[in-house]
Amino acid sequence: MTTAVSGTGPPRPARPGPFRRLRRSFDAYWYAWAMVLPVVVVLAVLVGYPLGRGIFLSFTDANEANVARTIGVNHIPATYEFVGLDNYWKVLSGQEGHFYGRLAWTVVWTGSCVFFHYTIGLGLALLLNRRMRFRGLYRVLLILPWAVPAFVATFSWRLMFNEKYGVLNAVLDRFGVGAVDWLGDGPLQKMSAVAVNVWLGVPFMMVAILGGLQAIPSELHEAAEMDGATPWQRFRHVTLPGLRPVSRTVILLGVIWTFNMFQVIYLLIGQGASSESEILVTYSYRLAFQGVRDYAGSATYGILILSLLLVFAVFYRRLLTRQEAAR
């Protein structure tokens, strides 16, 4: 049996004919291929095909009225047409849906959420990483927001933000401050959304960074201390570099998750009305499922979001490799 266990690598014989090569590689690898087959099928059917279809739809003018559908026993064939890059042009030239305004807000939303997630998470992790009383209790309380399903938490915050009966305004009232319309249109609505998402996301970062902190060998800290490093220097030159592998992963994941964060915005701001605080994902969702369902427009937005994230991921990786090389 020639199946390669990691490290040994497949044998490299002198080049035989193409058919024999295929045959041999099948003999060598069929176990591996059989084991990844289910995943490949799932991804191909549920991600690959829809993606292809999404790209196709974004080049058409498909909407609710002209896609193929079945009403009773009658099957109505699709009548939408191929329109080329028209959808992209409409979106990117700003004619439809205020793309750039929304993009700017989505970037601000992602940036501020991930920034607060990371800094607050890092701060709390540093505090929790000390020996002290009630450490276990603090830890449990601090990860509580993570344990609550996001849609439940969002509704709870909506109740607390309620202008007339919300607890936040009731507390403000005690201090003589008038009622604040937390979820009304405008910058305050955006800040409320960021606050909810930060509340939801900090525990993940905190626990991940805590794991990273505990993986830093304590000898490094001891050695730095022997050399007379101040606490700040130790943090700057021992802790932060030690956290780099963890930080890299959680920041990338955080950006992707926040950029696509659907539930908080959708459930907090209300499903019906159009709002300035909508990010690209929720806007695209609303295009597809509200009013006259604009499948093509929604698909266009989806493809644009995906392209943006891919570009970001590539640049992020390149930046990290360059940093690594400069070291």
Partner 1 sequence: MSARPGGRAVRAQAPRTVRARGARSRGASVALHATLIAAALIAAFPVLFVVFVSLRGRDGWQEPTRFVGFTLANYGHVLAHTEFVVWFGNSVLVALGATALGVLVAASAGYAVSRLRFPGHRPLMWTFLVVQMFPMAVLIVPLYNILGTLGLLDSYPGLIVTYCSISVPFCAWMLKGYFDTIPVEIDEAGRVDGLTPFGSFWRLIVPLARPGLAVTAFYSFITAWGEVAFATQFMSSERRYTLAVGLQTFVGQQKAEWGLMTAAAVLITVPAGFVFFLAQRHLVAGLTAGGTKG
Site for partner 1 in 220-279 (CB under 8 A): 222, 225, 230-232, 245-246, 248-250, 253, 256, 259-260, 262-263, 266-267, 270-272
Q: Which is nearer to partner 1, 109 or 266 (CB)?
A: 266
Residue type, 23: R
75 pairs with which residues across the strands? 70
Which member of 59, 203, 239, 268 binds partner 1 (CB under 8 A)? Answer: 203
Distance linking the first and last C-alpha atoms of the chain: 44
Q: Which is nearer to partner 1, 262 or 315 (CB)?
A: 262
Q: Of 12-20, 36-44, 110-118, 176-184, which part binds partner 1 (CB under 8 A)?
A: 36-44
Closest CB 286 distance from partner 1, rounded Å:
10
Closest CB 14 distance from partner 1, rounded Å:
19
* CA-based nearest residue to 231, from 130, 120, 115, 118: 130
Q: Which is nearer to partner 1, 193 or 207 (CB)?
A: 207
CB distance 313 to 290 below 8 Å: no
Q: Which is nearer to partner 1, 90 or 234 (CB)?
A: 234
CA 65: distance to chain centroid? 33
* CA-based nearest residue to 84, from 61, 52, 63: 61
- The site that binds partner 1 (CB under 8 A) totals a number of residues, namely 116
DSSP-assigned states of every residue in 86-121 = HHHHHHHTTSSTTHHHHHHHHHHHHHHHHHHHHHHH
State which of positions 138-157 bind partner 1 (CB under 8 A).
Answer: 138, 140-153, 155-157
Closest CB 31 distance from partner 1, rounded Å:
5
Closest CB 19 distance from partner 1, rounded Å:
16
Tokens of 213: 């902190």
110 pairs with which residues across the strands? none
**Is 253 buried (19+), middle (13-18) or exposed (0-12) by CB count in 10 A?**
middle
Q: Which is nearer to partner 1, 113 or 153 (CB)?
A: 153
Q: Of 12-20, 41-49, 86-94, 176-184, which part binds partner 1 (CB under 8 A)?
A: 41-49
Which member of 99, 118, 182, 204 binds partner 1 (CB under 8 A)? Answer: 204
Contact partners, residue 75, CB within 8 Å, separation at least 6: 68, 69
Q: Which is nearer to partner 1, 190 or 287 (CB)?
A: 287
State which of positions 166-195 bind partner 1 (CB under 8 A).
Answer: 166-167, 170-171, 174
Sole residue written with tokens 């607390």: 160
CB distance 165 to 183 below 8 Å: no
Closest CB 188 distance from partner 1, rounded Å:
18
What is the C-alpha separation between 105 and 78, in angstroms, rounded?
36
CB distance 124 to 138 below 8 Å: no
Q: Is 109 in the site for partner 1 (CB under 8 A)?
A: no
Closest CB 277 distance from partner 1, rounded Å:
17
What is the C-alpha separation between 50 and 48, in angstroms, rounded?
6
CA distances 135 to 142, 147, 214, 263, 319, Å, are 11, 18, 15, 32, 37
CB distance 202 to 139 below 8 Å: no
Which member of 85, 191, 313, 320 binds partner 1 (CB under 8 A)? Answer: 313
- Sketch the per residue contact string, 1 through 30, with partner 1: x for CB under 8 A, - otherwise: x-xxxxx-xx--------------x--xx-
Q: Is 36 in the site for partner 1 (CB under 8 A)?
A: yes
Q: Of 89-97, 107-115, 182-190, 200-208, which part binds partner 1 (CB under 8 A)?
A: 200-208
